[in-house]
Structure 1
């Protein structure tokens, strides 16, 4: 039991004195950046998918006559 208490005390010391926590405003900015980048990525992938779909559709139809 002594080792568990020692571990918990050391963990508390580590988390409160040695860890550098990011400021809330910085977290908000990073989250917004990730959201915008994800939306742009989704739009690009959607556009590529649409173009491949239409391109392959045109290609297959060109063999049907």
Structure 2
């Protein structure tokens, strides 16, 4: 149990005294960039999935008839 307390204490000390935190304005800007690229990437994946789905449906419709 003492090992866990030491680990938490050392982790807190590391975060408080040795970590260089990104300025708040830059963190907000980078968060917006990640959100925008996530939306763009998800729309691209959705578009590709829709195209392939339609191609597969068309292919099986041709085979069936």
Normalising by the smaller structure, the TM-score range is: 0.7 to 0.9
State the partner residue of 1:56: 56
State the partner residue of 2:23: 23
Q: Offset of 1:64 from its aligned partner?
A: 1.7
State the partner residue of 2:41: 41
> What is the TM-score of this pair, normalised by structure 2?
0.75
> What is the TM-score of this pair, normalised by structure 1?
0.75
Runs of 4+ in 1 over 3 A off after TM superposition: 10-17
Structure 1's unaligned 5+ residue stretches are none
Structure 2's unaligned 5+ residue stretches are none
Q: Compare CA radii of gyration and give the structure with the larger one.
A: 1
Q: State the Cα RMSD in Å.
A: 2.3
